[in-house]
Structure 1
Amino acid sequence: MSAPHSAPHHPSLPAGDAKKQPHLGADPSKKASCFGGGGDHHPKKPGPSAAKLALASFLGVIILLAADASLTGAGAHRRLRQQYLHYVGVGVGGGGITDSLSWLSVPDRPNFTDDLLARWLAPGGSPCRDARTANISVEVLDDAAARGEATTLGAGEIHEVTFWALDEAGQRRCLGGDYFEVDLSGDAWKSRPPIVDHGDGSYSFRLQVAPRFAAGEFRLTVVLLFRSWEGLKFSSSRFKYRAELRRIPLLFRPDNNASLPALETCRAADFSRDAWSGRWTRLAKNDSCEDVDAAGRYRCLESDHPCEAPWCDGPLGALESNGWVYSAHCSFKLFAADASWRCLDGKWLFFWGDSNHVDTIRNLLTFVLGITDTSVVTRRFDAVFTNPSGGAGTLRITSIFNGHWNMSMNYLGLHSLRNRGFRQLIRSYFMSGDRVPDVVVLNSGLHDGCYWTSVRIYAQAADFAAQFWSGVMDKVRARGRAVPRVFYRTTIATGGYARDLAFNPNKMEAFNGVLVEKMRRHGVLTGGVIDNFDMTFPWHYDNRCNDGVHYGRAPAKLVWRDGKVGHQYFVDLMLGHVLLNAICNE
């Protein structure tokens, strides 16, 4: 195989502000009323007839529905929307959204690139805007944590928590741009709560734990990785902050009467979301399995150990994760070899992205399809594989490394498309012969973090890339061929030491959002999005499951970066099964 993409190696909990602050929602000095209140007193008039009362009630319902549509839409003003939700009885702030339980999701992000650039370039000019964040105030959780107590929340409910960025003097900032890593972990649960930067120094995140996993104590950890958009800078390692500001104990109270909607197995339409909010759950555990075997494999459960509905479907043991599995707004089928070959037989898959694609393809072939000789799987290859069991099944895979137009070099990313020969190479797979690929999986890649000096310039490169791929698909249509289903697989959250480097999670999350938006606007993503960033984030804090820039290195019984033996590859193997769900569930 060619040389792998590798990164250069670089090598107290502050007290919170306990002062109480006013609620950010409805103004407590004003009393809500349907038809107004107060004012001058007038003599009573004769009461309305029953018909008039019925008409007024009907009109009131129409007004309320109109308010619902306008105040919960994507363009709604946040403060007005909070007042509306408070008025109709839906909890906000530290409370739970309890009227009807639903799965937590990421808010819509309209005009992602323009909004990102506007926030990034927001001027200072006042002490609270120019100050540097040194701590946070989490009003609804800090008091209990200061007493050494765990805060108890209802399981299944979505709990929204608002916190403020504080400067070194403990004063609130009034500008956003800080990048916080938020982790919610228990013995059988790991997730990244979605966080929203409101742009005024306040941030909010939402917590949810399914009742099935509510037992035991949870830890809510908040890390300030970068301040004031500094993670987006070209040489971000000089600006790292990486301070753990909170580690708060939480308990989730099971409610036998609370039930979340059924988590269905993913179908084609489920890949339409631009960003996911999933969780890793542990459905089984072999306590005696602490180390890898001689081949570097984590074969802790029997390979056919079954999944538990609704969290997954199929052989959980095939993940070699000792019971961990990922699910999001839908759950995923885990494919046995025969089912995989039935799905993939006769298909042509085309991959374009960084070297993480190489790992995923190799792991898919090895762990799922049962192919032992994967020597052909390099940065750039085009090969046909056959079912090793002797049954029916052939599969063509093409993979083009995009870190550089020269496959032996690195750190150009999307700029590789400026090379004419590289563009022609890509087009050749769609413009010649009787067939075009059935499925295309695109990825921007970590190399972009090392090349582009600003978000503004990257946005231009992303637009060029989206136009290029749109043009490729237009030529496919002009040939009278069916356009492939095209997916964007978001770039990983780099782990351990690499959290500080030029391809840090702050920058990669922003670049993911920019490129997805550009691809959407040019009509490229006919298949949808596979959010590998969300999948990898819960495991990115150290190097137990990654070498910093890969989550799927081949098994080997070697001392890893943290000084321990082994390297858990199950995070990338889970991605392989997610890809099969996208490919097979048409």
Structure 2
Amino acid sequence: MSAHHPQHHGPHAAIAAGDAKKTHLGDTKKLSCYGGGGDHHLLPKKLVGGGLPSALKLALVSFLGVILVVAVDLSLTGASAHRRLRHQYQHYLGGSGGGGGGGRGGEAKNNALPWLSVPDPSNFTEELLARWLTPGGSPCRDSRTANISIPVLDDAVAVGGVAALDSAEIHEFTFWSLDDAGQRRCLGGDFFEIDLSGDEWKSRPPVVDHGDGSYSFRLQVAPRFAEGDFRLTIILLFRSFEGLKFSSLRFKYRAELRRIPLQFRPSNASLFLPALETCRAADFARDVWSGRWTRLAKNDNCEEVDDAGRYRCLEPQHPCEAPWCAGPLGALESNGWVYSAHCSFKLFTADVAWRCLDGKWLFFWGDSNHVDTIRNLLTFVLGVTDTTAVTRRFDAVFTNPSGGPGTVRITSIFNGHWNMSMNYLGLHSLRNKGFRRLVRSYFLADDRAPDFVILNSGLHDGCYWTSVRAYVQAAEYAAEFWARVMAEVQARGHNVPRVFYRTTIATGGYARDLAFNPSKMEAFNGVLVEKLRRHGVLTGGLIDNFDMTFPWHYDNRCNDGVHYGRAPAKLVWRDGKIGHQYFVDLMLGHVLLNAICNG
């Protein structure tokens, strides 16, 4: 055996042998994940009225308003300014940067262009609730989106067939939602899936909902991958916040509105993108990532899985290409694909990983995707062949199977339900006193607390909470709980663990329409991250698995709908093909090691 179970200090808990499929939550909760159940409606906020000022007062107010806007604009010119807010003020003053063109997204500094990024949101929950409850009352607000208009790209395609953009630069485009009659809408809330793909590039361009029926997104392709044809695909998955409803299946729209061919020209020789650096502890401070998958190698003869169901297309030690990653690219079993974000990631060999993890204690709390990630980390990276201990709830010590030095303790507590054989409670599982006591027991022992904690809200929350406001309350309760746990650890004189939040996946294929759809999970991720931040829980930072999985969520080639890391098998997969791709979750395992080991 490569694993043994340490003596547990808390209540006794039976160990489930895998993910049980039965549930006893009642028809309403069960059906909510598959399209049944009711929806929770909330009354919109009242409009606030008021009288008009006199002509003199209006002139004075207008003059002072312009002075204030100019002052604010000047205060926003620093490097740390929120780009979207700055663009809004520039647009108001008639300056550049607020329109729908394809210009650069930032000023060059020392001839270096900026990497595309997303500013950390502020007041995420408050703004989400305000936009969700914005009242209608006029035709352009009450109409439904049926199409979009992207003037710059639509015109380019109409004239030449292919829009050509400069590589390396950030190109920002604005589009408008249109109703059935082709008229512009003046209210937001639509959820668009946008994909930028080439033979060696896949990314999710970040989208901004401006709340007035207009949306903007940004594109960037590094010159190294600019050759060949690209496709910009825009899909309207849900309209008018309907993806946030309790049962979302019957509200799905899922219409492909655009598939635009793009080409990226070589970059100006005098301008360049700075090389990515390997992620360090400070790099996990960002709450939202905007990364990309790049293909650095390809074995054209690798079309089928081997007898073990694995895609071993490259030699295991096939090296990464700097600066996109470091270490053995072949270890990902992705046929050349690798993920990078605002920094790049090291891919670990077994000996390096064991040296890092030796003597450490890792604690996972989340949905069943954690189980897959732990098993894949043990199997593909650490070389542990016996993973029978890895179930929904376990506490075990694993030993280096090569005989070299290295032991690591891993604890995993499934949070989909306080009863580990059941489902669809999510954060509500913390309302069970026995479950809270079980979780706390691992942190309040006399000898030590875990060294690292990886938290996850999970897909089960999408099936339980009837509204966004209900989930907000649950997230506040969960953040307070974890803050108290960490305070108790500190009070006992132990080292407080480094705590990370791993965002919930973007469900794929058929599951894109269900109660744990990407629209809802992205919103729930943002709410819980904000709550954990404000309570001081995230001492380690964030790992954006939503961004990592999104480029691969359109079908079931890399997922079964709700998992990206199912064990390899030479069997018919959900899409009718033999075998499946599991490298997206394996990449997550290496990203976790970067967070743990590169501090």
TM-based fold match above 0.5: yes
Match status 1:159 vs 2:174: no
Q: Is the 8 A contact 1:188 1:283 kept in 2?
A: yes
CA shift, 1:447, in A, is: 0.1
* 1:31 alignment counterpart: none
* 1:94 alignment counterpart: 102
Match status 1:3 vs 2:15: no
Q: Is the 8 A contact 1:283 1:307 kept in 2?
A: yes
* 2:77 alignment counterpart: 68
> How is 1:250-269 mapped onto 2 (pairs within 5 angstroms)?
250-255=262-267, 256-269=269-282
Match status 1:201 vs 2:208: no
CA 1:512–1:140 in 2, change beyond 3 Å: closer, same or farther?
same
Per-residue CA deviation, residues 203-248 of structure 1 (Å, 9 max, x unaligned), is: 0000000000000010000000000000000000010000000000
Letter in 2 for 1:212: R
Which of 344, 351, 374 lines up with 1:338 in the alignment? 351
CA distance, structure 1, for counterparts of residue 102 and residue 417 of structure 2: 47
Match status 1:558 vs 2:574: no
CA distance, structure 1, for counterparts of residue 202 and residue 414 of structure 2: 31
* 1:150 alignment counterpart: 162
Q: Is the 8 A contact 1:174 1:202 kept in 2?
A: yes
* 2:55 alignment counterpart: none
Q: Is the 8 A contact 2:100 2:174 kept in 1?
A: no
Per-residue CA deviation, residues 341-385 of structure 1 (Å, 9 max, x unaligned), is: 000000000000000000000000000000000000000000000
* 1:79 alignment counterpart: 88
Per-residue CA deviation, residues 458-489 of structure 1 (Å, 9 max, x unaligned), is: 00000000000000000001001110000000
Q: Percent identity?
A: 77
Letter in 1 for 2:405: A
Letter in 1 for 2:453: V
CA 1:5–1:257 in 2, change beyond 3 Å: closer, same or farther?
farther
Q: Is the 8 A contact 1:90 1:98 kept in 2?
A: no
* 1:278 alignment counterpart: 291
Q: Is the 8 A contact 2:76 2:82 kept in 1?
A: no
Match status 1:395 vs 2:408: yes
CA shift, 1:69, in A, is: 4.4
CA shift, 1:3, in A, is: 2.5
**Structure 1 gaps, min length 5:** 12-61
CA shift, 1:81, in A, is: 3.4
* Other structure's SS at 1:516 match: helix
* 2:195 alignment counterpart: 183
CA shift, 1:106, in A, is: 1.1
> How is 1:339-354 mapped onto 2 (pairs within 5 angstroms)?
339-354=352-367
CA distance, structure 2, for counterparts of residue 249 and residue 158 of structure 1: 17
CA shift, 1:91, in A, is: 8.7
Q: Is the 8 A contact 1:90 1:97 kept in 2?
A: no
Aligned-pair Cα RMSD in Å: 2.1
CA distance, structure 2, for counterparts of residue 191 and residue 73 of structure 1: 22
* 1:214 alignment counterpart: 226
* 1:317 alignment counterpart: 330
* Other structure's SS at 1:329 match: coil
CA 1:187–1:5 in 2, change beyond 3 Å: closer, same or farther?
farther
CA 1:280–1:239 in 2, change beyond 3 Å: closer, same or farther?
same
Per-residue CA deviation, residues 251-297 of structure 1 (Å, 9 max, x unaligned), is: 00012333101200000000000010000000000000001000000
CA shift, 1:80, in A, is: 1.2
Per-residue CA deviation, residues 140-196 of structure 1 (Å, 9 max, x unaligned), is: 101222346110000000000000000000000000000000000000000000000
* 2:556 alignment counterpart: 543
Which of 296, 302, 316 lines up with 1:289 in the alignment? 302
Normalised by the length of structure 1, the TM-score is 0.88
CA distance, structure 2, for counterparts of residue 90 and residue 238 of structure 1: 36
CA 1:126–1:327 in 2, change beyond 3 Å: closer, same or farther?
same
Which of 263, 287, 302 lines up with 2:315 in the alignment? 302
Letter in 1 for 2:90: R
Q: Is the 8 A contact 1:131 1:167 kept in 2?
A: yes
Letter in 1 for 2:102: G
Flag the structure with more relative contact order, 1 or 2, with Cα contacts below 8 A and sequence separation at least 6. Answer: 2
CA distance, structure 1, for counterparts of residue 354 and residue 326 of structure 2: 17
Q: Is the 8 A contact 1:403 1:447 kept in 2?
A: yes
Q: Is the 8 A contact 2:363 2:410 kept in 1?
A: yes
CA shift, 1:95, in A, is: 1.7
* 2:448 alignment counterpart: 435
Letter in 2 for 1:276: W
* Other structure's SS at 2:442 match: helix
CA 1:341–1:150 in 2, change beyond 3 Å: closer, same or farther?
same
* 1:519 alignment counterpart: 532
CA distance, structure 1, for counterparts of residue 120 and residue 94 of structure 2: 18
* Other structure's SS at 1:498 match: helix
Per-residue CA deviation, residues 380-410 of structure 1 (Å, 9 max, x unaligned), is: 0000000000000000000000000000000
Which has the higher mean CA deviation after the structures are superposed, 567-576 or 255-264?
255-264
* 1:234 alignment counterpart: 246
Q: Is the 8 A contact 2:243 2:520 kept in 1?
A: yes
CA distance, structure 2, for counterparts of residue 196 and residue 99 of structure 1: 20
Q: Is the 8 A contact 1:70 1:76 kept in 2?
A: no
Normalised by the length of structure 2, the TM-score is 0.87
CA 1:467–1:278 in 2, change beyond 3 Å: closer, same or farther?
same
* 1:455 alignment counterpart: 468
CA 1:509–1:67 in 2, change beyond 3 Å: closer, same or farther?
closer
* 1:415 alignment counterpart: 428
Per-residue CA deviation, residues 23-57 of structure 1 (Å, 9 max, x unaligned), is: xxxxxxxxxxxxxxxxxxxxxxxxxxxxxxxxxxx
Per-residue CA deviation, residues 529-582 of structure 1 (Å, 9 max, x unaligned), is: 000000000000000000000000000001011111111110000000000000
Q: Is the 8 A contact 1:5 1:355 kept in 2?
A: no
* 2:121 alignment counterpart: 109
Letter in 2 for 1:99: E
CA distance, structure 2, for counterparts of residue 240 and residue 63 of structure 1: 41
CA distance, structure 2, for counterparts of residue 311 and residue 75 of structure 1: 28
Across the two proteins, how many residue pairs are aligned to each other?
536
* Other structure's SS at 2:525 match: helix
* Other structure's SS at 2:260 match: strand
Q: Is the 8 A contact 2:205 2:219 kept in 1?
A: yes
